[in-house]
Amino acid sequence: MSRTGPTGTAQPPKKRHVSTTLLVRTTRSHIPARHLFVEYKQWVKRDLKDISVRDELIIVSGQRDIYRRILSPQNGDNIATLATFLDRFDMSTVHPLLLHLAEIGMGAGEWREVAALIESYLCRRAVCGLSVKNYTRMFLNLTRRLRDDGASASNIRQYLSELSGDGFVWPSDARFKSEWRGADIYARLSNRKLVHFLLRLSDTYNSSKTESIVIVSPLTIEHIMPQAWTKYWPMDDGSLGLSDDQLDDMSDVPHNSTASRQRSQLTQTLGNLTIVTQELNTAVSNGPWHEKKPALLAASLLPINLQLATIDAWNEGSIATRSE
């Protein structure tokens, strides 16, 4: 079964606790949404007691343009790459940091470095299945650090590199690689996150010689070797594989049980996933490789799918190679 995901175009902004983010950024404290009214009143009485309501509204509305850039990123804006990524990953907890960075101003090169660092940190943790519950506190602490030490990509890198423990750590190459190869990523990540990964991977095949393609069709996740492989894709020796339910119900261990378990696990890894339109997904879904491959090459313009042209057989070895 396919899951629909985002396209390469900007998505309509969701409802956000904009006032909460502004208050968090200003007070440098975590404010639960249910406490917003009380905390806002206290902030006004404490920090804005000597100004008029008009001046208070000017302070609040002064963040308007930055919020528009974050919630509705536009091509060409330095903040767009990072803002789009955070939307796809539903990471509004990073918005106070973005407000601070956008307010002080950064050059295009510095923004690219910052975007790469934050995307690396969040993506690696997502692939490794690590918790997101500490992100509000962690990014507030990072914002405080940048206020004291100066906002720069190098300071962000240093802060993230110093974090430890599963609640905060920036996963190493070895840990990331192990999870990338073997994790049940289809169950671990939402569809929007998976589509983001595969779009970013697809972009790596582009060069200055490549045409620029704007994606307007919704994209779905396609399992190249189908999830229902036991019914439609025989093992390499021609035998039918065993489903997880069959393996659990059997008292005797069949000769092909190990191979069946390995294949079932690999079908859910990144090496077996790609992105296609819903129409193409429906057309090729459970078909054999000798039918699916030409259908993908004929209908898809995405580089990630064009790379499949050189693969004659799709099996466990093909999935492992593509994962690398």
How does pLDDT run across 291-310, given as a tens digit for each residue?
999 999 999 999 999 999 99
pLDDT tens for residues 215-224?
A: 888 999 999 9
DSSP 269-288: SGGGEEEEEHHHHHHHTT--
**pLDDT at position 1, please?**
44
* Angstrom distance (rounded) from CA 98 to CA 79: 8
Return the pLDDT at 318.
95
Q: What is the pLDDT of residues 122-161, one digit of tens each?
A: 999 999 999 999 998 899 899 989 989 999 999 999 999 9
Tell me the residue length of the chain: 324
What's residue 63's pLDDT? 74
d(CA 13, CA 153): 27
pTM of structure: 0.79
Note the pLDDT tens digit of each residue in 237-263: 777 887 777 777 665 656 678 888 889
Mean residue pLDDT across the chain: 84
Question: What Rg value do the Cα atoms of the chain yield, rounded?
Answer: 24
pLDDT digits (tens, 9 = 90+) for 19-37: 445 545 555 555 565 655 6
Q: Is the pLDDT of residue 47 over 70?
A: no
d(CA 241, CA 252): 15
- Range of 96-100, 182-186, 259-263 with top mean pLDDT: 182-186
- Return the pLDDT at 29: 56
What residues are paired with 4 via a beta bridge? Answer: 220
Cα–Cα distance measured from residue 319 to residue 202, given in angstroms and rounded to the nearest whole number? 16
Predicted confidence at residue 11, as pLDDT, reads 44
Take residue 77 and report the two structure tokens written for it.
């804006």
Q: Are 9 and 214 in contact (CB under 8 A)?
A: yes
